[in-house]
Chain A
Amino acid sequence: MSVKELEKSATLEHAGDGHFHGDGILGEQFETLEQQNTSYLIGMWAFIVQEVLFFGAIFTAYAIYRFKYVLEFTLAHHELSVPIGTLNTFVLLFSSYTMARAVRAAMQNRHKKQAFYLLLTFLFAGVFMVNKYFEYGAKFEHHLFPGGDYDAHTIVEHAEKKGELRVAEENGKEVYELGKTRDGQFTVFKKVTPEEFEQRTRLFFGFYFVMTGLHGLHVLVGMIIIAILIGRAWIDHMKNKPVADYMPVEMTGLYWHLVDIVWIFLFPLLYLIGR
């Protein structure tokens, strides 16, 4: 908007309640669309920085215990389903792609295309959540949710089968020997009591549920916003609106890529390392 246009609209629109309304897209606190758009972008990036620190703190805590209890955590890692994790990784990656297409469509004011790609993004997010549901369900079934009935026996059984844990006895008490079987020979790396083993694997699943839970919450919030944007894009399409504000989609896109990249860190840290 040129200065001339701005002054004219300001003078005309001031007549009512004194508000400057612009042309419907421009917030009354802004002078130009360029100012508004860059404001939104800087604000969104500041929010993303905040999210990085939010997740960063818990990643730090996780890294410390991964290092401290590496053997126990490794055995707990093995209970996570790599196929579902991999599937979800690709689902999210594709959803990021469709989101990027939606942003592009929004910039070009192609509302129908935008609604289509947002819908795809929404569906991918839905697939992610459904997978998560089954994944969480399996953990509850095996008593791996760190609630009242947490029980590490599944981990012990699986580890015994793979020759990475041996139940032994020391001074009349049961101990777990953590180690590795090579050429039929079991080498002990570390001995822990069953209680310690239970605590530490419980800690792993605590981190697992908090981290993926917070991430899942972010996916859910994203889905709600995307659903609203689909509605808006569809209305714009039905009304044949020539120009719509693309910034909501752009910012949702930024948010969505953040959600995606958090998962890109969660997936290897929780599912892949230790294999």
Chain B
Amino acid sequence: MATATYTGTDKPNYLNWKTTVASWLLTYDHKRIGILYLVTISIFFALGGLAAAMIRMELATPKGDLLTSDVYNKMFTAHGVIMIFLFLIPSIPAVFGNFALPLMIGARDVAFPRLNLLSWYFFTAGALCVLVALFRGGIDTGWTFYTPYSSSFAKGEVSLAIVGIFLAGFASIFTGINFLVTIHKMRAPGMTWFRLPLFVWAMYATSLIQVLGTPVVAITLLLVAVERSFRIGIFDPNLGGDPILYQHLFWFYSHPAVYIMILPAMGVISEVISAFSKRRVFGYHFVAFSSLAIAIIGFLVWGHHMFSTGQSMYAGIVFSFLTWIVAIPSAIKTFNWMATIWKGRVHWETPMLYALGFMGLFVIGGLTGLHLAAMATNVHLTDTYFIVAHFHYVMVGGGIMGYLAALHFWWPKMTGRMYPEGWGKLAALLVFVGFNLTFFPQFILGYMGMPRRYHSYPEEWAVLNVLSTAGSSVLGLGYLLPLIYLTWSLKYGKVVTERNPWGARGLEWELVDTPPDPHNFERTPIVTRPAYDYNHPEEPTGFVPKPRPVVVGGKDG
């Protein structure tokens, strides 16, 4: 084999075996598509963060003095639309699902490489539509596009933004279909369902939501655009429509969408906790099935967004009850992670810090969710900063912490360079402190009744808002640091040539080069051990079978 003649750093890897622009833009390699997604969504993370910075600067003073209320509305809409549809939804699935999942199951690629690339193009096209809509005056509907405001009153390029989200939605569906099939059909011999790493189980549950939920929001937003263009009264009561119907259809996707953001992060946390505690994930089966349980129950709870908007009380009772049930699989995960760390040999590297941060913040985010799921407290807390704090604890404290954990965990594998550990730890600390300082005061503000989406507020809430704004600058610095030192490490970071810098278990660490070969494995590996088999360090998880020599003219020839 040609590749066998290379040694050490000379060996071509997926990054340097072809370097033209076309080789990147037309690549079918899942690892390169993961990188394409990484670069794209990093841009949107920065843009969404900029909008958030504007929001927090406005709220630093009680008076609405920095931005007019109109611009403020556009800012929080831009923040929400960009962060949710263009960053969080594709974040872990499209970047690390693409990069790591085929490696973890011992596959050469995903099942449909071309569909995978198409997904990135759909995403990019959709993202461009949203950007054009934002730059041509912006939209002020909020990321939820609630009718009848969005369909009959809002000015600006709402329809264009909807087209953008529609396209990005199909990118997400393509990713989901791809991973469903990949997990079903591309597992290496011996990689049974219960030997799968838990990240793969989480991605399976995520893909189910992507495939089952996204089309509903796609058609719903399309109907909003139709209503805007043709004055058809689907959702506007003035035209004979029903705005509650919009909310039902919208949240049928957009609640499960929260689990698209958090489930992959939970998968990452399982990987990281186990790798840095050097223990098998405690209660493997429970953690695996809790992902599926969250995905399934997650489809039955959307009505908790509508307790105070005119939904029937009896429907509310059922939705409230079902929402509480989601706490069970979430708690199963959390307790099992804690039990994994218990008596493990804990290593305090950056990914582990993020994982521990995730556990703390997710518990707060999850438990405050129970307050909101209770109908009586919901009436008091709905549409206040309590909600804002709650979902930021889940999506940012959960989703983005998981994303950063994954980024640092797989960074050496992706790039062949190690990030600077000291800076990494500092950034993780800043993110954790900054995050809590930003969002914890918002729980109190919300409880005191400060409504969301206003650009001014009474004097007595000034102290807590200043705290929050101060925290957001620490958080911003915490996010800026990785951007700088990770980019720096591409050129100056310590070169990693060993396959397994973390001493972790899993095919992607034990059998794949750093950075990976364009075809991942020399040949399809055979898996012989369960995932996270830290108790048997001498036994590899799997092996790559040796090629049989071809005897030309022999009895095989």
Contact = CB atoms under 8 A, between A and B. Distances in A.
Interface residues of A, number: 49
A39 B3 CA distance: 29
A221 interface: no
A55 B223 CA distance: 12
Contacts of B239: 199, 203
A28 B218 CA distance: 33
Residue with the highest number of chain B CB atoms closer than 10 Å, among A16, A38, A50, A65? A50
Contacts of B218: 54
A42 B215 CA distance: 18
A207 to B, nearest CB: 8
A150 to B, nearest CB: 8
Interface in A1-49: 4, 7-8, 10-12, 14-16, 18-20, 27-31, 35, 38-39, 42-43, 46-47, 49
B223 A43 contact: no
A146 B227 CA distance: 10
A46 B524 contact: no
Interface in A43-75: 43, 46-47, 49-51, 53-58, 60-61, 64-65, 68-69
Nearest to B222: A210
B181 A11 contact: no
Contact of B181 (A31, A43, A65, A207): A43
B212 A61 contact: no
Contacts of B113: 27, 29
B186 A50 contact: no
A179 interface: no
Contacts of B212: 49-50, 53
A43 B177 CA distance: 6
Contacts of A35: 185-186
Interface string B268-306: 000000000000000000000000000000000000000
A206 B226 contact: yes
B177 A50 contact: yes
Contacts of A242: none
A110 interface: no
A270 to B, nearest CB: 15
A15 B110 CA distance: 23
A169 interface: no
Contacts of A28: 108-109, 519
A166 interface: no
Given A11-B547, A46-B181, A49-B212, A31 B524 contact: yes
B189 to A, nearest CB: 9
Contacts of B314: none
B550 A11 contact: yes
B108 A15 contact: no
Contact of B177 (A18, A46, A147, A202): A46
A47 B177 contact: yes
B219 A54 contact: yes
B211 A18 contact: no
A57 B2 contact: no
A54 B230 CA distance: 21
Interface residues of B, number: 53
A199 B237 CA distance: 11
Contact of A7 (B181, B233, B547): B547
Contact of B180 (A46, A64, A196, A206): A46
Contacts of B375: none
B401 interface: no
Contacts of A47: 177
A14 B522 CA distance: 9
A200 B238 CA distance: 11
Interface in B165-192: 173, 176-178, 180-181, 184-186
A61 B211 contact: no
Interface stretch (B240-248, B259-267, B424-432, B434-442): B240-248
B203 to A, nearest CB: 14
A55 B216 CA distance: 8
Contacts of A30: 186
B240 to A, nearest CB: 4
A216 B168 CA distance: 23
Interface in A145-185: 146-147
B322 interface: no
Contacts of B517: 18
B548 interface: yes
A29 B102 CA distance: 10
B220 interface: yes
B412 interface: no
B235 to A, nearest CB: 9
B143 interface: no
Contacts of B2: 14-16, 18
A223 to B, nearest CB: 20
Nearest to B230: A146
Interface of B: 1-3, 107-113, 115, 173, 176-178, 180-181, 184-186, 211-216, 218-220, 222-223, 226, 230-234, 239-242, 245, 249, 252, 517-519, 523-524, 547-548, 550, 556
Given A28-B519, A30-B186, A55-B219, 12 more contacts: A18-B1, A28-B109, A29-B108, A29-B110, A42-B181, A50-B212, A53-B213, A57-B215, A61-B223, A61-B245, A199-B233, A206-B232
27 contacts: A10-B523, A15-B2, A16-B2, A18-B517, A29-B110, A29-B111, A29-B186, A30-B186, A31-B524, A35-B186, A43-B111, A46-B180, A46-B181, A46-B211, A49-B212, A50-B215, A53-B213, A54-B215, A56-B216, A57-B219, A64-B242, A199-B239, A200-B233, A203-B239, A207-B232, A207-B234, A210-B223
Please give me the 4 A-B residue pairs with the lowest Cβ-Cβ distance, nearest first. Answer: A206-B232, A54-B215, A29-B109, A199-B240
